Chains A and B, each alone.
Chain A
Amino acid sequence: MALLLAYLAVLGSLFSGALSLGANRHPALLKYGAFPLLGLAGAAAAAGGAEALRSGEVLTSHLPFGLPWLAWQVKVDALTGLFLLLIGVVTVAVSFYGPGYIREFQHGRHSLAALGGFTGLFVAGMLMVVLADDAFFFMVAWEVMSLASYFLVVFQHEQAANRRAAFLYLLMAHVGGLFILLAYGVLAAFGGGFGFEAMRGAELSLLWSSVAFGLAFLGFGMKAGLVPLHAWLPEAHPVAPSHISALMSGVMLKVAVYGFIRVVFDLIGTPHWGWGVAALLVGSASALLGVLYAMVQNDIKRLLAYSSIENVGIIFIGLGLAMVFLGSGHPTLGSLALIAALYHAFNHALFKSLLFMGAGAVLQQSHERDLERMGGLLRRMPFTGFFVLVGCISIASLPPFNGFASEWLTFQSALQGVVLENGVLRIMIPVTAAMLALTGALAAACFVKLYGVAFLGQPRGRRVRHAREADWGMGLAQGLLAVLCLGFGLFPTAVVGTLDAVPQLLFGSGLPHATAEGWLWLTPAGAEKASYSAPLLLVGIALAWGLSWLLLHPRGRRTVRCAAPWDCGFGPLTPRMQYTSTAFAQPIRRVFEPVWKVDEQVERITDKDALRVVGLRHQLQISDRAWQTLYEPAGTAVLGIARRITRLQTGNIRVYLAYSFFTLLVLLWLIS
C-alpha cells in the first residue's frame, strides 16, 4: 500500500510537471491542473509515508529501468516513510500556495511552463531519492533533484546576480554529488554491488569506513549547507520563487539529511564515536555561525536561508550525539538523540516553509525584500502576520510550539552524556549543549528582529504602505503549516512514539520509556529523569491567561483610550525614528565582532567652512568569511591548475597526434 502510494506520488508530480508544459499558452492549466495534481501527489506521498512509518513494514520492488544488470531498486521502510511524509506535507502546502503566488509571473516574460515543469520534476526527484535502494538510482534521482532545482533558482534570470547564484549552486551541487558518488564507490567496492543490500553486507576496516563516512559527510554536508561549505546556500535559496525557496530550504536540505542518515547509520553500520565528534563540531559551528549570520541580514529571505544553516546545524548536533552514543555502546541514548534530530528535521521543514511562504506573501504584495524598508505589515496583512508570528515562535523554540519540543529532546540527550566513559567526550558534550543554548537564545533575538521590524511598528518605506492581504490559497497554505507547528508541539509523545520506528529499523533499539506514561507525558529517559507534558502546559497557559483576565480586567466602563504615542515633547514621531534592522542587530554585532567581515565607514559631511557637521554618511557591508577563506582561494587554485593544464592545448595537430601515440604506447605496455 505504502509503495503504491509512493509510486502514485512520483507519477503525480511527473504528470504535474508534464501538464504545465502547456502553461505558457494557457496559464489556467498551471493553476487548475498542475498545482492540484502536485497537491494530490503530495497527499499520496504523505499518506504512503505515514502508512510506512505506522506499520514499520519494509517493502521492496524494482523498476524496469537502469543498467542492464541492475534494475532500479525501490524500497519503502520507516526512514523512507518519514521523509516521504515530510516531502508530502510541504508539497501539499506548496500546491495551495502556488496558484496565488505565480500570479505576478503571469504577465511577465517568465515562462510558466518552465516553472511548473521543473517544480514537478523537482518534487519527483526528491521522492525518488528517498525511495531509491541502489546507488545508481539514488544518484540519478539526486541529479534530477539538483538539476531541476537549478532551473528553478535561475528562473528569474534577467538579473545577473541570480544567474551567478544559480551557477554557484549548480557547481556546489555537483562537487557534493561527486563526493557522494565516491562514498558509494567505496561501499560498492567492498560490498560487491551497487545495491544498498550488498553495501550493508560490506566488511569495512575502520580506515575504509572512515573514508566512506568522510566522503558522505562532505557530500551530504555540502548539500545540507554545513559550515564552512554553506556560502552557496544563502545565495541560491532566496533567489528562487518563494514557494520553491520553501521546498528547497524546508525539504531539499532534509533530503540531504536523509542521505546522510541512510549512508552512515544504515549502510556503513554502527558508526564510530569519532565520527560523532566530527559531526558535533561541525554541527555546533553551523548552528552558531548560521544564527549569527542570520542576525545581521537585512534581506528577509537571506535571513531565513542563513537560519536554515543554523537549524541544519542543530540537526547534525543530534545526529552527532546519536553517533557518539551508538559508537560507545549506548543504543537507547543513541535512539533518543536520533529521534531528537529527526524531530527537529521535521519541525524545521514545517516552520521554515511557513516562514518562506510568509516572506513570499510580503514580497508579492509589496515587492520589497529589504527589512530596512518594511514595517507595520501586521495591520495590512493580518492573517499572514499571525501565521508568521506562529512560525517565529516555533523557530525561536519557545513552548509550547514544535521547535521547543525537539530542542528539549536534544538537550535531554546531551545531558545524558555523563554516562560515557571517555573523558574527552564527557567534556565535549556539555560544551555542545552550551553552544546549543546560545544558538537558541540568539535565534529568539533574530526572529524578534525579523517580526518586529517587518510586521510591527510603522512602515519605513513607500511600498509596504500599500500592501494588501495575500490570496486565500496562500493564507490557507500558511495556516495549514501553522496548525501543524502547534500540533507537533502539543503532541510530542505521539510524534516520538511514531519516530521510534526509525531507530528500531536502523539499529534495533527504540525508546521504550518515552511513551510509557500515556499520551500526555513525554519521558524520554524514564519518568524519574525528566518529563514534559505539552498538553497540560497549554492548559496552564490558558488557565493563567484566563484567570488574570477574569480577575484583573475591569468591567462595565470604557477601558482603553487611544492616544498618540509619547514623543518626548518634540513633535510628531516619524517612521524614520524607529529602530531599523541594522540598528537592532548592532549590539550583537558588536559583541560577536570577529565572526563577520565587517566593512563600516562613517563619513562626516561638513558645511562649507568645515565647522559644522551637516550630515553623516554611513556605509555598512557585512560579508561572509567563508568567501575569502575558502571559496575564493579554492576558485583561484582551480583556475591556476586549469591554466597550467591548458599548456597541453597547443592547437597544433602534430602535438595532439603525438599525445595519442604515446598514450597508446603506454597502454600497450600496461596490458602486455
Chain B
Amino acid sequence: MVDLLSVEAWLLPLAQTLLFVTAAPLLSGWVKRVKCRLQNRRPPSLLQPYRDLAKLFGKEAVVAETASPLFRATPYMVFASTLLAASVVPLLAVHLPVAAVADVIVLVGFLALGRFFLALAGMDVGTAFGGMGASREMTISSMAEPAMLMAIFTLTMTAGSTNLSSAIEHLLAGGLVLRPSFLFALLGLMLVAIAETGRIPVDNPATHLELTMVHEAMILEYSGRHLALLEWAAQVKLMLYGVLIANIFFPWGIATTLTPEALAGAAGALALKLAVLAVAVALAETSLAKMRLFRVPQFLNLAYLLALLGMLSHVILEVGA
C-alpha cells in the first residue's frame, strides 16, 4: 500500500498536522474578532490566543491534592488524540501517503477517546462541577457522535469509501452535483459541530462559573500548561470541524497534486472558506441566546434526524438513479 520507509510518507502528514495545530488558535482569534465587531466591542489582536497559550505555558501548574495520576495524564492524552484526529482530516491536499492508516470512523473514535479521558478527569478531583460537566458532556456527545457518524456516512456511501481523502477525491472528480442528501448531512454536521465544540447556543466558551457550563466545568481544576494543552486541543477541535465541513461539502480548491502552486492555492482557498464559516459561527453566536440544558437534546435529535434523512435520501434517491 504505502512505502512506509520513504521520507514523504511521514514528512507530509507531519507538516500538515503541524500546520493544523499552529493555525488553530488563529481561527479562534478570528472568530472572537468577528464576534467583537458584531457586538460593537473593540476586538483583541488576532494573535491574542497565541499570547494566552504562551502565558499559560509559562505558569506553574497547580494540581489538586486529591487528583490521581489520570488527572495529570489527561491533558496530554486529549491533546494527542485531538492531534491525531486532525491528522486524519485532509487539510490542504488529498492523497497523502498515510491517509490509509485511519478513516473517518477512526477520526470519530479519536475524538471520543479524548472526550472519554476529559470526562474522567472531570470526575477525578471530586468536586461537584467536574462531575456535572462530565455528565453533561457525555449526554451531549452520546447524541452528537452518532449524528456526526451518520452525516459522514452519507458522504462515504456516495463515494464508496470511508477514507476521507479518497472520498473527497471522488467528489471532486464528480464535479458539481446538487445532492439532496448532502444538504441534509451538511445541516446535521453543522449542528453537531456547534454542540461538540461547545459554542452558543449549546455551551458558552466564554463562560466561567455558570451553573450551565459544560466544557469549562470539566476543566475547572486545570491550570498552567495542563490548561494550555486543553485550550489548545479545543481550538484544534474547532478548526477540525471547520475544515471537515469546508473540505467535504465544498472541496473545491484542495490540492490534488503536491506542487507548491497547488498547495498555496489550497491554503488560500481553505483560509477563505474557514473565514466565511467563522463569520457564520460569530453571527449565530451573536444573534442566538444560549439554550436551556434540556433543550439541547432536542437540538441534537434534530441533527440526528437530519443526518439520518440525509442517509436515507441517499439510499432512496441517489443509489441506482
Contacts and interface: CB of A to CB of B under 8 A. Distances in A.
A586 B11 CA distance: 47
Interface string B219-237: 0110001001100000000
B145 A530 contact: no
Contacts of A375: 126
Given A444-B112, A552-B57, A529 B311 contact: no
A426 B315 contact: yes
A583 to B, nearest CB: 7
B145 A453 contact: no
Contacts, number: 264
Contacts of B81: 541, 544
Contacts of A533: 100-102
A587 interface: yes
Interface stretch (B22-30, B159-167, B261-269, B280-288): B159-167
- Name, among A408, A417, A427, A591, the residue most crowded by chain B CB atoms within 10 Å (CB to CB): A591
B136 interface: yes
A461 B251 CA distance: 56
A561 B63 contact: yes
A275 B44 CA distance: 63
Nearest to B13: A540
Interface string A525-550: 00111111100110011001100110
Given A456-B120, A545-B76, A376 B126 contact: yes
Contacts of A552: 57, 225, 228-229
A644 to B, nearest CB: 48
Given A529-B160, A531-B163, A587 B135 contact: yes
B84 interface: yes
A540 B127 contact: no
B146 A437 contact: yes
B271 interface: no
A237 B276 CA distance: 56
B71 to A, nearest CB: 8
A397 interface: yes
A430 B312 contact: yes
A105 to B, nearest CB: 32
Nearest to B131: A579
Given A398-B116, A448-B116, A578 B84 contact: no
Nearest to A438: B146
A378 interface: yes
Contacts of A562: 62-65
Contact of A527 (B1, B57, B79, B319): B1
Interface in B291-321: 293-294, 297, 304, 307-308, 311-312, 315-316, 319
A548 B109 contact: no
B48 interface: no
Contacts of A457: 66, 123-126, 131
A617 interface: no
Contact of A458 (B126, B142, B162, B220): B126
A578 B61 CA distance: 23
Contacts of A565: 64-67, 125-127, 221
A587 B139 contact: yes
Q: Summarize B's interface: helix, strand, loop or mixed.
A: helix
Given A399-B109, A412-B162, A566 B127 contact: yes
B105 interface: yes
A521 interface: yes
A584 interface: yes
Nearest to A518: B1
A517 B1 contact: yes
A575 interface: yes
Interface in B111-166: 112-113, 115-116, 119-120, 122-128, 130-132, 134-136, 138-139, 141-146, 149-150, 153, 156-157, 160-163, 166
Interface string A371-390: 00001101100000000010
A590 interface: yes
B153 to A, nearest CB: 6
A456 B163 CA distance: 37
Contacts of B185: none
Interface string A419-433: 000010011001101
Contacts of A544: 79-81, 83-84
Contacts of B60: 558-561
Contacts of B68: 378-379, 456
A574 B105 CA distance: 41
B135 A584 contact: yes
Contact of B80 (A404, A437, A452, A541): A541
B157 A445 contact: no
A94 B294 CA distance: 44
Nearest to A408: B105
A431 B143 CA distance: 15
B120 A540 contact: no
Nearest to A530: B162
A522 B101 CA distance: 9
Contacts of B115: 444
A563 interface: yes
A634 interface: no
8 contacts: A412-B162, A415-B162, A433-B153, A434-B150, A518-B1, A540-B84, A575-B126, A579-B128
Interface of B: 1, 4, 57, 60-68, 70, 72, 76-77, 79-81, 83-84, 87, 98, 100-103, 105-106, 109-110, 112-113, 115-116, 119-120, 122-128, 130-132, 134-136, 138-139, 141-146, 149-150, 153, 156-157, 160-163, 166, 220-221, 225, 228-229, 293-294, 297, 304, 307-308, 311-312, 315-316, 319
Given A529-B162, A541-B80, 18 more contacts: A397-B109, A415-B153, A427-B316, A438-B142, A451-B120, A452-B123, A456-B120, A456-B123, A458-B126, A528-B161, A560-B60, A560-B72, A563-B63, A567-B127, A573-B128, A587-B135, A587-B139, A587-B294
Interface of A: 375-376, 378-379, 389, 393, 396-399, 404, 408, 411-412, 415, 417-418, 423, 426-427, 430-431, 433-434, 437-438, 440-442, 444-445, 448-449, 451-453, 456-458, 517-518, 520-521, 523, 527-533, 536-537, 540-541, 544-545, 548-549, 552-554, 558-567, 573, 575, 577-579, 583-588, 590-591
Closest 3 CB pairs of A and B: A579-B131, A452-B123, A437-B146
